Structure formats: structure tokens, C-alpha cells
Amino acid sequence: MTFKTILSLLFLLPHIAFGAKADAKDIMLGAVFPMTGPIATYGQESVNGMKLALKRINLKGIRGKKVQLIVEDNKGEPVESANAVRKLISVDDVYAILGSVASSNTLAGAPIAQSAKVPMLTPASTNEEVTKMGKYLSRTCFTDAFQGEVMAKFAYNSLNKKHAAIIVDLSSDYSKGLARIFKKRFKAMGGTIIPQDFSYNQKDTDFRTLLRKVKRKKPDIIFLPGYYQEVGLILKQARQIGMVMPFIGGDGWHSDSLLKLAGKKGIKNNYYSSHFSPDDTDPAVQNFVKEYVAAYGSKPGAMAALGYDGLMVMADALKRATSLNREALQKAIASTQNFKGVTGMITLDKMRNARKGAVVLETTEQGNIFKEKISP
């Protein structure tokens, strides 16, 4: 038995392969997603979306081959993400990696993919630094520079709020980066930001002391660039202590679990920016929604749509690559232009970031209400 086979056996348990039956002649792709842990709905939804894409891709195959996707669970943790990227490269010898979702997770795996020259395409990580890790890193979503500006404008112009507090998740590069951008943009428009730093860490559950401090400063709006688990609890506890102002945030809020966590009182009167709304009337979107509902029994959220588009872009690049190797694949990904996805038209710029529109959603007990669509 070779060392590689032993390693493969060791890794047999946590990994799940989707697509064609294992065959050395298949095109092997890796995927690093949070299937368990505090941001698990992101991973589960992404994989649902990617499975639909894979089905479509393997109807015809690519270059006479089937595509196979090996999914690794990073549990939403940076160290696990780095290990997963290392394993997919050294054990599975994948052509490319899709992932991850949380920017801190993608940032942890990025240097490994970059130094091994394995293309890594994130469908969802919005932090500015991600694609600066090197040319093997690209993304099919917008960045936080855009998302932060969208929400600053929405707060100032659409909601007519002028005095904001910001609550940051210190364990998340996404949260810290998005907070910085919102602050800059909101101030530039003439708004004021309460100078005090309000923060928490992922997996915290009691936010009452923090929220009382924020309440005393009397903001008319609160920017909360976090992930749904903590955001949901913060919304719930804020209403419990009588905070009635709107809370706003970014794509990290996008999860079916948000309502369960925030409760009926907590969910009301809040807004966030995201990548996708299943209420978009575009026929391509409606087709995707129909297919998704038929397969999983619920409407797709942002992560499902992003996962789907990410894998479809990867498949398109695999077809266009001048030959089937990682270097040619990287070039093909970077030159993606006018790819019509369900999250919008995807064109990668010089820094391998997609310029795409955002949607603003209002959270209600009955589900999200689509408020605005903002072009880049």
C-alpha cells in the first residue's frame, strides 16, 4: 500500500463525493464548505446548489469526461479549512477547489492553494483580501467594498437614518472589513458613527450587556455585519430590552435559520444586502427556483444560488481552457466574461473579482421582502 492510499483511507470517512462514480478518468474537483458548526446552513445550501449544477454538467460531461466533486467539511473553522485544502491537493490531486464561504476560512486555505498553483474559486467570500492572495484565487461574487456602500446608502437615503452604531464580530475578517467600509461610506455621506467600539465573538450567546451599552448611545440605526447565528440572537435580545431601531447587515444574515433564532419580534424592521432573491422575475432565476424547490422542498437562498453559479463558472472554464491542466484552468477562470448566472451576469475583473448587482431584503415573519436591486 502506498502512502497516498493510506492517507486516502484515513480521509475516507469525512468526505462525501458527488457526481459520477469514482473513475481516475473523471475530472476531480474539491469543495471546502461548512457542513456543520455555527454557519452550517451556508455549506448545506451551497452543496445543494452545486449538486444541481453537477447534474446539469454531467448530462453532457466536459471534454468527454464526467466531473466529480469531493466535499470537505471545514466546520466553519480556519484551521480545518487549511487542512481541507491541503488534503484535496495532496491526496485527491484535484484540478481546482471551490470554496469557501466565510472569508476567514477562505483566507486560511488560500496561501496553500496559491503556492501549490491550484485554482481556488470562492462563490461567496466577499472580503477584499481574498483575491489579493495571488492569481490562483478568484471569486464569482461581489466584494465588501460594494456591499458596504450599498448598505450605507440604503441606511442614509432609503431609511433616512443619520446616526449609526456598528457592532463587529471580532472573529471574522468579513465582519471587520465590512464594518470599516460602511463606516467610511456612511460618514462620507454626512452620517455620524458612534465612536465607541462595540464587538462580540462568534459562538457568543448572551449579548444583553453589550446591547445595553449600545442602547445608551441612542443610535437611530445599527450596522451589524455578522453571521446569522449571532445576528439572530442579537436581534432577539435587542427587542427584548426595548431597542426598536432597525438593524441592518450584509449577506451573512442570509439563512433560513435567521427567523427561528430572532423570533417574531426580533425579525421585524431589519434589512440586509445579499446576492440573490428567489423573487427575482428573471426567467433564468425562476427556472432555478423551480428546479431547486422540486429537489429540496424549499426556496433557494443566496448560498444555494452562489454555489450553483460557482460550479457552473468552473465548468465553463474547464471547457474553455486551452488544455486540461491547472495553469490553463486558472487562465480560463480569470478570463470569464458575461457568464449568465442565476446571481447575475458574471465577468471577472483584473483582480479576479466579479462585478455584480446586490439586492436589499427586509426581514419579516413571512420571509424576506425584496426591497431594491442595486447595480454595480
Query: Residues interacting with ligand PHE, by CB under 6 A?
Result: 42, 101-103, 124-127, 174, 251-252, 254, 302-303, 306
Q: Cell triple for residue 341?
A: 448566472
Q: Which one, of 136, 186, 198, lies nearest residue 161 by Cα?
A: 186
Q: Which is nearer to ligand PHE, 102 or 329 (CB)?
A: 102
Residues 237, 227 contacting (CB under 8 angstroms): no
Q: Which is nearer to ligand PHE, 44 or 127 (CB)?
A: 127
Q: Is 160 exposed, middle or buried (0-12, 13-18, 19+ CB in 10 A)?
A: exposed
* Residue of this chain nearest to ligand PHE (CB atom): 174
Minimum separation from the CB atom of position 128 to ligand PHE (A): 10
Minimum separation from the CB atom of position 321 to ligand PHE (A): 27
Minimum separation from the CB atom of position 130 to ligand PHE (A): 8
Using DSSP bridges, classify how beta strands 270-274 and 358-363 pair: parallel, antiparallel or unpaired. Answer: antiparallel
Residues 209, 234 contacting (CB under 8 angstroms): no
Q: Which is nearer to ligand PHE, 302 or 321 (CB)?
A: 302
Give the integer Cα–Cα distance in Å for 14 and 26. 21
Q: Which one, of 98, 24, 116, 27, lies nearest residue 318 by Cα?
A: 27
Q: Which is nearer to ligand PHE, 27 or 302 (CB)?
A: 302
Q: Which is nearer to ligand PHE, 324 or 369 (CB)?
A: 369
> 112-148 in b/e burial notation, b at 16+ Cβ within 10 A?
bbbebebbbbbbbbbbbbbbebeebbbbbbbbbbbbb
Minimum separation from the CB atom of position 361 to ligand PHE (A): 12
Minimum separation from the CB atom of position 65 to ligand PHE (A): 30
Q: Which one, of 44, 174, 205, lies nearest residue 105 by Cα?
A: 174
Q: Which is nearer to ligand PHE, 127 or 363 (CB)?
A: 127
Minimum separation from the CB atom of position 194 to ligand PHE (A): 24
Q: Which is nearer to ligand PHE, 148 or 252 (CB)?
A: 252
Minimum separation from the CB atom of position 331 to ligand PHE (A): 25
Bridge partners of 29?
69, 96
